[in-house]
């Protein structure tokens, strides 16, 4: 108090600089800071307050307009900051390109996600700590960087890493309940729908799960979460449909906090279970039975997509874990094939997930499930087990039940009887393909909001669905054997109805009474003959009645005044009137096209997205869309249009996508499309004219199987960030008369006649360059120039044609080549043909691809393709990633006097297929001639 009074007297009589750092939301800090801010400052004084979040500053009644967010580090700034702490005598501008690449690797360790699945930033404190750890000798950095405990592990039992020690101080100020909630957000909550693709979409509302597990109302739980957000322990909360955002550093801290085996009994255990062949694999700390203070367990196995690697736990003894609340097992296999949960009488949440494991199934017996009377959340995905029907039927407190892809012969006829589970809120039995019926649904289930039987392809009866008066979401998509839907007229609260791919249904009884309905999807219902008049469905926002050939009209369509997303067959829309009333419509997808369809679509003057699919033969021109002045994106797939002149007048367009428009001969004049950011043209095999003009805002250009021999000068696209050209087999050159300061990604594959690239000095900002199966020959000094200009460049040298061991004595001479060639061998990872440099081949006798062989170039072998396995399109197999690849020796390059590998490409270009037996160039030139001129394969085949 005396200190505060003295400060007040001082600031009244003197100009001062007052700085308050790391202001928290604790009440005494807020009171102290607020009292000071209310004091009378002498004119000219400066007050600076720093906090971890905007919300904390706002608690001091500071207006948002007076707050400034810290500017994030750019990559070169991060590299300089790292050098300042690692090797102060080195300066970024003076180091060799190889050292720059090493520095880039180092700073990437400090490039953390912010928790939204998209944004990343360089963390200054992490750069400082890592720089101090690695020392001033760059030759030692790589070895230290690869140490398992670098940067994200505890140093000793009582000594945390400097970064985590700061986080720990914030964590320790939380009460026990807030700490438990933080750990659940970080590690123990349900898995997202697609966890291996950084998807954050959740199967359930995540706030509900927190509420159930913590025994609090959703409102009280939200208050706690907002408190964690104010303290910057979590990021964006969202609406509960996605995982809560958390900074990577906080998540790593949580993993360290829950690491078992080294500490006294604690409330949390989080373990990663490794491949049994992995020498670093650790035994689970639970093999001795666990301990009574344990509240959360999460064990994570192999997380590669579609992996067949089994991660085993010798024994999972839970006999002493009587106070456990959450048990989460993901991709973890038990060698005993038995999980005994009978002692977990306090368990509230159980998740066993094998969603992305594709190997042979193992039996998984769950003992004592019926004894878990406090269970509120149960998720089982991909199990092969004995019948769980009787077990599940006894879980009378269950609120969320998700069973997916359950392999069990005993469940062939029916799903569990749900009649006793009247507290259920959310039920799904997705992909239970043998189940023929579901029972126990009744009007007593007044809490049931969601029911999904998606892809239950044998389901023939769903009795009781029509009595679920509280239901808000019903998904019967993919129930191919279901001949009749229950009458849905009582479901006045239903918001979302999906019946797509229900091949046998002829009607949707009660549809016209679903007055709350917002989303209706009925795609691919080949027997659906009619729809009732839906004029009462004034809340409908999405309507998808697509590929339903018997539907000729949609009664009441013009009355859907809230509709913003529509997908229909063209015949269904042509019979409708007063379509101009649909003023909120922003997206339309049309199957088929005609002049009458064009007239109908022209009514949607506020349309932003238009997708046209499979126009019939005889419709040669896309026209009549000039009224769509707000259209931003247009996608045209599988259509026979030869010309699209109407696109020239759609000046609001930002994206044009043309896929498999094989009759399209020319692009319209696009010089007036000043907002266009993306052009994506795939398999438009007749497209030979490319006169787009200057496109000042174009950022992405992706072209596949284009027949043009040249493209416009790339300087016509000054904002171009990504250029991807694949199988453009007539393209001979790429030019740019000026630098391309925005270009970040350049991908050129199978452009077999491409010989010339823009001057590498114009590629000043490139950070990813892939060149494969093209005839461009890059000299060594060009590679050095690229690497010097672009410190963070990801340049895959093993994919560069004829690059391994390049030597050139004179800039004007072609480089000589000294490397290995593997004639007639294609890399199954990147399609390099022939493989240049080191080749790796699978010799496993049980390899499903053994007939044609499975080969990888050095780059693909060293990177992700060998780990994940590769899908072979010709034979429809994934290559098992555990098959060992062995190196195959081959001959060295010759002097280039033979016919060359390229000569075998065929005697004409054709329509883009590999055989090359097509029309050739106008002058009679052929791929074979080009190959002979190059003479790159030495002895010739």
Ramachandran region, residue 459 (left: φ > 0; alpha: ψ -120 to 50; beta: rest):
beta
Confidence at 840, pLDDT banded by 50, 70, 90: confident
**663 exposure class (CB count in 10 Å sphere: 0-12, 13-18, 19+):** middle
CATH classification at residue 436: 3.80.10.10
Highest mean pLDDT among 328-332, 789-793, 847-851: 328-332
Highest mean pLDDT among 159-173, 350-364, 577-591: 577-591
Q: Which of 197, 225, 257 is the last residue in one of the domains?
A: 257
**At residue 68, does pLDDT exceed 70?**
yes
**In this structure, are 121 and 245 located in the same domain?**
no
Mode of pairing for the β-strands spanning 768-772 and 745-749: parallel
Q: Which of 66, 90, 113 is the last residue in one of the domains?
A: 66
What's 155-218 look like in SS3?
CECCECCHHHHHHHHHHHCCCHHHHHHHHHHHHHCCCCCCHHHCCCECCCCHHHHHHHHHCCCH
Could you give the number of structural domains in the chain?
6
Residue 113 within any structural domain of the chain: yes
Residue 375 within any structural domain of the chain: yes
**In this structure, are 243 and 282 located in the same domain?**
no
**At residue 263, does pLDDT exceed 80?**
no
Residue 212 within any structural domain of the chain: yes
**In this structure, are 424 and 493 located in the same domain?**
yes
| Cβ neighbours of 264 (radius 10 Å) | 6
Peptide linkage before 834 cis (omega within 30 of 0): yes
How far apart are the C-alpha atoms of 937 and 935, rounded to whole Å?
6
Highest mean pLDDT among 156-165, 346-355, 794-803: 346-355
**At residue 917, does pLDDT exceed 80?**
no
Lowest model confidence (mean pLDDT) among 366-380, 469-483, 785-799: 785-799
Mean pLDDT of 1-12: 76
What CA–CA distances, in Å, run from 7 to 10, 34, 38, 51?
5, 13, 12, 21
Mean pLDDT of 124-142: 83
**In this structure, are 228 and 271 located in the same domain?**
no
Which of 383 and 426 is assigned the larger pLDDT?
A: 426
Residues found in the chain = 941
pLDDT at 819: 47
**At residue 291, does pLDDT exceed 90?**
no
pLDDT at 939: 33
pLDDT at 443: 95
Question: Which of 158, 163, 130, 179 lies closest to 248, judged by CA?
Answer: 163
**In this structure, are 374 and 265 located in the same domain?**
yes
pTM: 0.75
Confidence at 424, pLDDT banded by 50, 70, 90: very high
**In this structure, are 237 and 377 located in the same domain?**
no
- Could you write out the DSSP letters of every residue in 638-678? S---SB-GGGGG-TT--EEEEES-TT--BPPP-TT-TT--E
**In this structure, are 350 and 407 located in the same domain?**
yes
Which of 418 and 56 is assigned the larger pLDDT?
A: 418
Mean pLDDT of 53-66: 81
**At residue 863, does pLDDT exceed 70?**
no
Residue 40 within any structural domain of the chain: yes
Question: Which of 657, 569, 573 lies closest to 615, judged by CA?
Answer: 569
Residue 601 within any structural domain of the chain: no
Does residue 819 contact residue 798 with C-beta atoms inside 8 Å?
no
**At residue 356, does pLDDT exceed 70?**
no
**In this structure, are 848 and 928 located in the same domain?**
yes
Residue 450 within any structural domain of the chain: yes
- The pair of structure tokens assigned to 393 is 């039927």
pLDDT at 542: 96
**At residue 926, does pLDDT exceed 70?**
no
- Helix (H) or strand (E) holding 143, with range, is helix 138-145
**In this structure, are 276 and 402 located in the same domain?**
yes
pLDDT at 41: 84
Residue with tokens 């590929």: 547
Confidence at 701, pLDDT banded by 50, 70, 90: very high
> Percent of the chain, pLDDT > 90?
35
**In this structure, are 459 and 500 located in the same domain?**
yes
Q: Which of 551, 584, 615 is the last residue in one of the domains?
A: 551
Mean pLDDT of 843-857: 67
Segment 649-698, tens digit of pLDDT = 999 999 999 999 999 988 888 888 999 999 999 999 998 877 777 899 99
> Percent of the chain, pLDDT > 70?
78
Question: Which of 903, 850, 912 lies closest to 879, judged by CA?
Answer: 850
**At residue 908, does pLDDT exceed 60?**
no
Ramachandran region, residue 431 (left: φ > 0; alpha: ψ -120 to 50; beta: rest):
left
What CA–CA distances, in Å, run from 898 to 326, 684, 890, 893?
68, 35, 17, 11
- The pair of structure tokens assigned to 325 is 């609340």
What is the average pLDDT value for the chain, to the nearest integer? Answer: 80
pLDDT at 669: 85
How far apart are the C-alpha atoms of 695 and 715, rounded to whole Å?
10
Does residue 665 contact residue 652 with C-beta atoms inside 8 Å?
no
Residue 762 within any structural domain of the chain: no
**In this structure, are 439 and 546 located in the same domain?**
yes
Which of 773 and 908 is assigned the larger pLDDT?
A: 773
Residue 574 within any structural domain of the chain: no
**In this structure, are 89 and 225 located in the same domain?**
no
CATH classification at residue 358: 3.80.10
pLDDT at 635: 96
Residue 305 domain boundaries: 261-411
Residue with tokens 């590299």: 79
């Amino acid at each position: 108090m005396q200190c505060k009074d003295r400060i007040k007297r001082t600031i009244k009589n003197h100009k001062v600089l007052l700085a308050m750092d790391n202001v928290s939301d604790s009440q005494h800090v807020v009171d102290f800071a607020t009292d000071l801010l209310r004091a009378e400052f002498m004119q000219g004084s400066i007050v600076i307050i720093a906090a971890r979040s905007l919300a904390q500053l706002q608690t001091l009644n500071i207006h948002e307009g007076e707050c400034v967010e810290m500017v994030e580090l750019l990559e070169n700034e991060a590299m300089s900051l790292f050098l300042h702490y690692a090797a102060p005598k080195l300066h970024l501008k003076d180091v060799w390109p190889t050292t720059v690449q090493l520095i880039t690797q180092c700073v990437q360790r400090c490039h953390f996600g912010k928790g939204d699945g998209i944004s990343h930033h360089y963390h200054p404190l992490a750069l400082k700590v890592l720089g101090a750890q690695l020392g001033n000798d760059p030759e030692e950095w790589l070895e230290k960087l690869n140490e398992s405990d670098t940067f994200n592990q505890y140093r000793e039992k009582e000594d945390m890493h400097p970064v985590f020690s700061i986080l720990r101080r914030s964590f320790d100020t939380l009460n026990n309940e807030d700490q438990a909630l933080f750990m659940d957000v970080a590690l123990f909550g349900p898995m997202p729908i697609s966890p291996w693709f950084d998807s954050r979409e959740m199967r359930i509302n995540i706030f509900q799960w927190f509420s159930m597990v913590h025994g609090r109302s959703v409102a009280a739980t939200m208050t706690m979460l907002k408190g964690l957000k104010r303290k910057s322990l979590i990021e964006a909360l969202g609406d509960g449909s996605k995982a809560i955002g958390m900074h990577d550093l906080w998540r790593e801290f949580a993993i360290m906090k829950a690491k078992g085996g080294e500490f006294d009994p604690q409330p949390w255990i989080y373990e990663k279970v490794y491949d049994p062949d992995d020498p670093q694999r650790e035994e689970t700390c639970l093999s001795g039975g666990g301990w009574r203070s344990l509240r959360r367990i999460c064990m994570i196995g192999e997380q590669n997509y579609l992996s067949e690697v089994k991660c085993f736990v010798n024994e999972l003894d839970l006999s002493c874990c009587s106070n456990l609340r959450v048990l989460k097992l993901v991709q973890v296999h038990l060698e005993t094939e038995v999980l005994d949960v009978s002692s977990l009488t306090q368990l509230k949440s159980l998740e066993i997930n094998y969603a992305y494991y594709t190997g042979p199934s193992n039996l998984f017996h769950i003992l004592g499930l019926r004894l878990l009377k406090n269970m509120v959340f149960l998720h089982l995905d991909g199990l092969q087990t004995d019948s769980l029907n009787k077990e599940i039927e006894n879980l009378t407190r269950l609120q969320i039940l998700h069973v997916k892809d359950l392999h069990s012969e005993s469940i062939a006829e029916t799903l569990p009887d749900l009649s006793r589970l009247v507290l259920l809120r959310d039920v799904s039995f997705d992909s239970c393909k043998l189940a023929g019926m579901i029972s126990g649904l009744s009007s007593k289930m007044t809490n049931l909001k969601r029911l999904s039987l998606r892809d239950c392809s044998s389901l023939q009866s769903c009795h009781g669905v029509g009595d679920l008066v509280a239901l808000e979401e019903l998904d019967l998509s993919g129930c191919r054997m279901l001949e009749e839907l229950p009458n849905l007229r009582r479901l006045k609260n239903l918001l979302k109805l999906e019946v797509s791919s229900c091949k046998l249904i002829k009607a949707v009884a009660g549809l016209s009474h679903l007055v709350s309905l917002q989303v209706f999807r009925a795609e691919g219902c080949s027997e659906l003959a009619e729809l009732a008049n839906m004029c009462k469905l004034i809340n409908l926002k999405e309507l998808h009645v697509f590929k339903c050939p018997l539907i000729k009209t949609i009664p009441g369509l013009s009355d859907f005044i809230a509709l913003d997303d529509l997908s229909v067959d063209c015949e269904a829309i042509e019979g409708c009137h007063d379509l101009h009333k649909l003023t909120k419509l922003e997206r339309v997808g049309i199957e088929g096209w005609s002049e009458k369809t064009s007239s109908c679509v022209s009514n949607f003057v506020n349309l932003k997205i238009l997708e046209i699919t499979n126009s019939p033969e005889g419709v040669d021109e896309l026209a009549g869309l000039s009224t769509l002045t707000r259209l931003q994106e247009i996608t045209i797939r599988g259509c026979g249009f030869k010309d699209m002149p109407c696109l020239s007048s759609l000046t609001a367009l930002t994206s044009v996508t043309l896929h498999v428009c094989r009759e399209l001969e020319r692009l319209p004049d696009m010089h007036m499309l000043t907002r266009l950011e993306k052009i994506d043209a795939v398999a438009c095999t007749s497209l030979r004219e490319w006169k787009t003009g200057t496109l000042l805002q174009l950022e992405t250009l992706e072209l596949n199987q284009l027949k043009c021999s040249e493209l416009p000068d790339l300087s016509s696209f000054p904002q171009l960030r990504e250029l991807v050209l694949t199988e453009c087999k007539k393209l001979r050159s790429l030019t740019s008369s000026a630098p391309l300061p925005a270009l970040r990604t350049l991908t050129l594959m199978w452009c077999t006649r491409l010989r010339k690239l823009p001057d590498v000095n114009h590629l000043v900002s490139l950070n990813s360059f892939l060149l494969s199966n093209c005839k461009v020959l890059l000299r060594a000094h060009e590679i050095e120039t690229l690497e010097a200009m672009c410190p963070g460049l990801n340049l895959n040298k093993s994919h560069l044609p004829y690059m391994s061991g390049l030597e050139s004595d004179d800039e004007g001479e072609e480089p000589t080549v000294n490397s290995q060639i593997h004639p007639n061998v294609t890399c199954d990872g990147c399609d390099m043909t022939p493989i240049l440099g080191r080749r790796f081949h699978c010799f496993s006798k049980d390899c499903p691809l053994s007939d044609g062989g499975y080969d990888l170039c050095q780059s693909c072998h060293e990177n992700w393709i060998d780990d994940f396995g590769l899908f072979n399109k010709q034979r429809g197999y994934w290559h098992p990633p555990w098959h060992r690849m062995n190196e195959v020796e081959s001959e060295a390059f010759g002097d280039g006097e033979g016919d060359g590998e390229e000569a075998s490409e065929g005697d004409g270009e054709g329509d883009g297929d590999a055989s090359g037996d097509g029309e050739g160039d106008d002058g009679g030139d052929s791929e074979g001639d080009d190959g002979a001129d190059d003479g790159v394969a030495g002895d010739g085949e």
